[in-house]
Structure 1
Amino acid sequence: MPAPTTVATTAPADRRTDAPAIEVRGLTFRYPGAAQDSLHDVDLTIEPGDFVAVVGGNGSGKTTLCKAFNGLVPHFWNGDITGRVRVHGRSTARRSVGEIAHDVGYVFQDFGNQLVRPTVRGDVSFGPLNFGHEDWADRTDRALADLGLSDIAETHTWQLSGGQQHLTALAGALALAPSVLVVDEPAAEVDPRRAAVVYDHLTRLNQEQGITVVVIEHHAELIARYARSVVLMSGGRVRWHLPVREALARREDLADAHVPDPPVVALGRALVAEVDRGERPVPITVDECVDLLRSVVRAAPDASAVAEPAPSGAMPRARRRGALVARMVGVEHGYRTVSGDRHTVLQGLDLDLHDGDRVALVGSNGAGKSTLLSVLAGLAVPRAGAVEVDGRDTRSVSAATLADTVCYLMQRPEEMFLQDSVRADVAMHPHGRGLPDADALVERVLDRVDLTRLADRDGRLLSGGQQRRSTLAIGLAMRPRLLLLDEPTSSLDLRSRDDVIGMLEALSDHIRCTVVATHDMHLVAEWASRVVVLDHGQVIADTDPRTLFSSPDVLERARLVSPQVAQVGAALALPELPLTVDELVRQVRTIEELA
């Protein structure tokens, strides 16, 4: 296949060395047709070489603000705008998006739309080639290797998992080595090991090459570990821009914006009075938290003398088996590549799903999670083996008929919007099936996911987090018996993630079994009764969360990372591996009482 045409470009003018990397003054912006400003009178300065995390609840203006850094607002997304934005002292209003791209690299939240070439290698090389870099091939190879993509460099981008597409988009931005790099949700849909690899690479670029890094992030533990400073957005305004440790100490401000304490911060505050009173700095890493808590646990008697502490409600449910809901026997599935080779995704897979199961489906990017859900939903027919849902072979019944029993919410939320408003999309299934309580059901669901005020907006024009909540509303209004969710908490703030869990609990009378494909280990720890681990299309473990996080070999093979609270509990050698902050606190306090 021929290489993309190289477009000659003019090198950017010398940057002002005394100017901020990003300077925003009085920026106000409103999208066409919107009832209120997405940004209002924003002032912000980001100095060269900073590593900034932009945080805030869904719809707070984070993404819109960052799109102003590279000129997408207002050159691509038009609207009512006042104020100014400067990059290295040069106004974005007087430069095209292509010119600004020499200075500002950007990875979108909807990263799939950023892929423009057929293969992974072709996409990563597209920017360096078109900007006329003579070392474009070396840049491409380095970016592929750094993000673990060399083995799939010749793979077509439409054959990739969501996480692999995200890494490809990021590699394309890294290959340009801009002076400012903006990444919207670096950890979204990426397995935990690769999320750490992405952040480690961003840190190297920041520290070794002086690249200013700006990330939009909901994972508080990643913010604590990697960021130097934090910008808090709320209601389209910047509330403050502070060093990371000082920012994480602003507990009430962060809680108001639905940004939780990282588990290590919550543990420090709960167990060390000086931290809670602000007399000692909050711990922001696992190592800092462990060092802080050792003084509390050191006074304890032998851990073996401590009784099992957790009440039954906090423990994973026993592996009881209810009635069979779905069964996969010897399932093989894959696709044929453009070259004619057959790529197998699922290999001889056996899986039973039972009434009452809350299944977390985990594994690395490309392990086969989304394909498994698609086959379960009847959207794909296995090449070998059999799939039964509610006693019916999926080969003998259409996916439309199965929709009364099984609902599959896809990884890309924008693919779920077919009508001109969120309310109409949510109402499609209940109205189409003639449910007598359809209107009341739609309003209950919209209220539950906090979308009533946005119900008349087109779902395709909402923020990423709002789109995710909208697709959940579509699925919940279907009241399926088997609910399949692909990365349902990706791009969601803490309140919205907790709402997801609450909604699933509230609809347990209708939903017999829920399967969630996820990289969110906190969701696994706090919600799942059962964890199915995939690797190269095969089930390598079928267990409970506590056992999984106590199994380093399985975690390593599946590129998983246990939650911070489990890492702290393991380092402190607690009697039982904790899954939540409350569990760890209870165990430590029991130890203190026995000391």
Structure 2
Amino acid sequence: MMHSKPLVEVKDVSFQYPGSETRVLNGVSLTVEEGEFLAIIGGNGSGKSTLCKTLNGLIPKFYVGEFEGEVVVDGLDTSKHDVADLSKTVGYVYQDFEKQLLRPTVLDDASFVPLNYGLWDFKERGKWALEVTGLSHLANAFVWQLSGGQKHLLALAGAIAMKPKLLIVDEPVAQLDPQHASRIYDVLKKLNEEYGTTIITIEHHTEFIAKYCNKVVLMDQGEMVWKKDVRDALCSVDDLVTRQIHPPQVTMAAYHINRDGNYPITLEEAIKHFRGKVPALYEHPFQTKTDKSPILSLQNITVQYQAIHKEMKKALKNLSARFYKGDKIALVGNNGSGKSSLLKVIGGIVKPKQGTMELVTNPLPNYSPETLSSHVAFVFQNPEEMFIDDSVRKEIEYYLKARKVHDYTNQVDQILVDFDLTDLQHQDARLLSGGQQRRVSLAIGAAIKPSVIILDEPTANLDIATKNKVLSMFNRLEAHVDTIIIATHDMQLVSEWAERVLVMNDGQLIADDASDVIFRNEEILQCAGLVPPQIITLCNELHFPHCPSIESFVEYWNLAKERGA
């Protein structure tokens, strides 16, 4: 199908924010044809989001700075047209999508943009957008009643109600469980294939790129390195890895086994690629720990709250669990399963309607939340919510002073060393990068030397390099606490780090076992909306033993090959 003109033409564009000494975009040129499904990849600070903001006129109209070059979208020069005019052609779903939800009910919100343009069919457009995103059944619901995944779909509905030719989505799956993440991409695929919408996503998750996109642009330090077809792009392993971008796990496994450039990029391709090449060896069953003295014990915990029509809803239903010294626990389940309620009970933030909690053989009623917080530290998903002072050192000191810890200076010095924060100790934590902020929040949690530390989505929104740094901090955390509980959607983190996995669904604990057992239980996976990491699904399909990482898969493959030779 021939197009006389590309939909997007970026010509030699450079941009520098005021006060910055370096250009965040440096001579970028890019052509996007109508109907493409394009992923833009690159590490933090590579210029991905800045490039996309030139396409809807936010740069240079809203974010001022030194702008050079030309951006033309659907024949419109973006520097010469208002953002409002361009938004008829360019829809945009931002990473912080909740800020785009402006009206009280779902249909009102989906219809809001066409209503503002005075279009007579604004409500029909809103209904169409809800139909495409699968939210029609929630048209009359209040926005605040929606789950995180539903809110993301609603932001998407609001962005497509004008039926734009180009839709840009920044980090579509960053805060979502695997099921909701696939739903977002399925909607994007439908828009692309059925309605001809050109899609650009900014994405870290290459498994989704392999499955849904057809073109990939690689950005690095404000420059465009290349634009390639998706297969060529994801098989350019060296280009990606040197920039801290991880190709799909199956691609990396094939790359490490035989560097011939012919790698699978999807799970289906990998099963064909690897099947029958080596025999499956005997597997040693997992031995469960049998520690008789729990540090923390929950018995028949029920939590309920009042819903909008005054009926009582149960967030936790008669839940019992035990946590032992040395436990490294992942708490998983889809959005709305009760994970947050459980964490808040353990952290003393929510008092259960019924049931008991014992902390080292003392029942919960003997503790006020303040006393409990000396034994249980809660590290929030958004680190900034924990910051109340003007330097990293003072943030850590604050919690120790509040607990009247004497001679805390040496303790703070050691914590700064352990979490690689000594050089940052006099900086304001709110001005640090996302990964540095995570380390500060972990340091605050560790400083009080709690028995139990709870981490809520500690790797959300981090690029691969930053995530690896935070993962290494978990190992240091073990020296300061007895038990670590992490609530996460990151199944790779679960498989590589956790020794126990607690699976939540509809306010109940439906499984508590080792990750290899959980990831083989189809019924549990289906019920809780869990999708194992690619490498584990590949092992299951090939009848291999449980390999929690690419390294362990390659090691097993080489051993099996050696024995089978």
* Fold in common (TM above 0.5): yes
**Change over 3 Å in CA distance of 1:291–1:583 after alignment to 2:** same
Residue 274 of structure 2 corresponds to which residue in structure 1?
Answer: 293
Which residue of 143, 161, 169 maps to 1:157?
143
Residue 489 (structure 2) pairs with residue 506 (structure 1): no
Which residue of 550, 565, 583 maps to 2:552?
583
Which residue of 36, 40, 43 maps to 1:54?
40
Letter in 2 for 1:578: C
**Change over 3 Å in CA distance of 1:381–1:308 after alignment to 2:** same
Spell out, residue by residue over 1:509-568, the C-alpha distance to the aligned partner (whole angstroms, 9 max, x if none): 212111111111111111111111111111111111111111111111111112111221
Letter in 2 for 1:581: I
Distance in 2 separating the partners of 1:95 and 1:394 = 62
Preserved CA contact (<8 Å) 1:160 1:366? no
Preserved CA contact (<8 Å) 1:441 1:477? no
Distance in 1 separating the partners of 2:314 and 2:255 = 49
Residue 20 of structure 1 corresponds to which residue in structure 2?
Answer: 7
**Change over 3 Å in CA distance of 1:475–1:91 after alignment to 2:** farther
Which residue of 95, 103, 112 maps to 1:109?
95
Distance in 2 separating the partners of 1:474 and 1:239 = 39
Deviates more, 1:166-175 or 1:102-111: 166-175
Quote the RMSD (CA, aligned, Å).
Answer: 3.0
Question: In percent, how many aligned pairs have the same letter?
Answer: 39
C-alpha displacement of 1:229: 1.9
C-alpha displacement of 1:578: 2.8
Which residue of 316, 337, 348 maps to 1:367?
337
Distance in 2 separating the partners of 1:143 and 1:24 = 33
Residue 409 (structure 2) pairs with residue 409 (structure 1): no
Which residue of 507, 515, 534 maps to 1:564?
534
Spell out, residue by residue over 1:266-292, the C-alpha distance to the aligned partner (whole angstroms, 9 max, x if none): 122233x3xx133xx321111111111
C-alpha displacement of 1:191: 1.4
Residue 511 (structure 2) pairs with residue 548 (structure 1): no
C-alpha displacement of 1:483: 1.7
Letter in 1 for 2:427: D
**Change over 3 Å in CA distance of 1:422–1:33 after alignment to 2:** farther
**Change over 3 Å in CA distance of 1:151–1:289 after alignment to 2:** same
Which residue of 235, 238, 260 maps to 1:277?
260
C-alpha displacement of 1:90: 1.8
Distance in 1 separating the partners of 2:158 and 2:200 = 16
Residue 282 of structure 2 corresponds to which residue in structure 1?
Answer: 307
Residue 224 of structure 1 corresponds to which residue in structure 2?
Answer: 210
C-alpha displacement of 1:65: 2.7
C-alpha displacement of 1:22: 4.9
**Change over 3 Å in CA distance of 1:65–1:542 after alignment to 2:** same
Distance in 2 separating the partners of 1:471 and 1:22 = 42
Distance in 1 separating the partners of 2:73 and 2:434 = 26
Distance in 1 separating the partners of 2:539 and 2:214 = 27
C-alpha displacement of 1:458: 6.1
Structure 2 unaligned regions, length at least 5? none
Spell out, residue by residue over 1:98-129, the C-alpha distance to the aligned partner (whole angstroms, 9 max, x if none): 22221221222122222222233433332343
Deviates more, 1:98-107 or 1:423-432: 423-432
Secondary structure of 2:80 counterpart = coil
Spell out, residue by residue over 1:27-75, the C-alpha distance to the aligned partner (whole angstroms, 9 max, x if none): 2122x55564433343333332222222222233322332332233344
**Change over 3 Å in CA distance of 1:361–1:235 after alignment to 2:** same
Residue 317 (structure 2) pairs with residue 347 (structure 1): yes
**Change over 3 Å in CA distance of 1:127–1:466 after alignment to 2:** farther
Distance in 2 separating the partners of 1:463 and 1:392 = 40
Residue 64 of structure 1 corresponds to which residue in structure 2?
Answer: 50
Residue 240 (structure 2) pairs with residue 254 (structure 1): yes
Which residue of 437, 451, 456 maps to 1:486?
456
Q: How does 1:23-42 map to 2 (within 5 A)?
A: 23-30=10-17, 32-34=18-20, 36-42=22-28
Distance in 1 separating the partners of 2:466 and 2:198 = 30
Spell out, residue by residue over 1:344-367, the C-alpha distance to the aligned partner (whole angstroms, 9 max, x if none): 222222222221111111111111
Secondary structure of 1:171 counterpart = helix
Residue 78 (structure 2) pairs with residue 97 (structure 1): no
C-alpha displacement of 1:17: 6.1
Residue 177 of structure 2 corresponds to which residue in structure 1?
Answer: 191
Preserved CA contact (<8 Å) 2:7 2:74? yes
Spell out, residue by residue over 1:193-221, the C-alpha distance to the aligned partner (whole angstroms, 9 max, x if none): 22112112211211222212111211121
Distance in 1 separating the partners of 2:10 and 2:474 = 43
**Change over 3 Å in CA distance of 1:146–1:205 after alignment to 2:** closer
**Change over 3 Å in CA distance of 1:216–1:376 after alignment to 2:** same
Preserved CA contact (<8 Å) 1:431 1:438? no
Distance in 2 separating the partners of 1:99 and 1:68 = 14
Distance in 1 separating the partners of 2:307 and 2:79 = 44
Distance in 1 separating the partners of 2:513 and 2:329 = 10
Distance in 1 separating the partners of 2:435 and 2:128 = 32
**Change over 3 Å in CA distance of 1:406–1:536 after alignment to 2:** same
Distance in 1 separating the partners of 2:325 and 2:171 = 35
Spell out, residue by residue over 1:142-187, the C-alpha distance to the aligned partner (whole angstroms, 9 max, x if none): 5445545455554443344434433332333244432111111111
**Change over 3 Å in CA distance of 1:372–1:170 after alignment to 2:** farther
**Change over 3 Å in CA distance of 1:467–1:507 after alignment to 2:** closer
Secondary structure of 2:420 counterpart = helix
Residue 447 of structure 1 corresponds to which residue in structure 2?
Answer: 420
Deviates more, 1:388-397 or 1:237-246: 388-397
Preserved CA contact (<8 Å) 2:375 2:452? yes
C-alpha displacement of 1:23: 1.9
C-alpha displacement of 1:498: 2.0
Distance in 2 separating the partners of 1:371 and 1:62 = 36
Preserved CA contact (<8 Å) 2:358 2:364? yes
Spell out, residue by residue over 1:58-95, the C-alpha distance to the aligned partner (whole angstroms, 9 max, x if none): 23332233233223334444444444433223222233
Secondary structure of 1:437 counterpart = helix
Distance in 1 separating the partners of 2:448 and 2:53 = 35
Distance in 2 separating the partners of 1:403 and 1:443 = 21
Which residue of 112, 117, 120 maps to 2:106?
120
Preserved CA contact (<8 Å) 1:317 1:529? no
**Change over 3 Å in CA distance of 1:478–1:569 after alignment to 2:** same
**Change over 3 Å in CA distance of 1:259–1:590 after alignment to 2:** same
Residues paired across the two proteins, number: 559
Secondary structure of 1:516 counterpart = strand
Secondary structure of 1:447 counterpart = coil
Distance in 2 separating the partners of 1:122 and 1:462 = 37
Residue 189 of structure 2 corresponds to which residue in structure 1?
Answer: 203
Letter in 2 for 1:201: V
TM-score (norm 2): 0.89
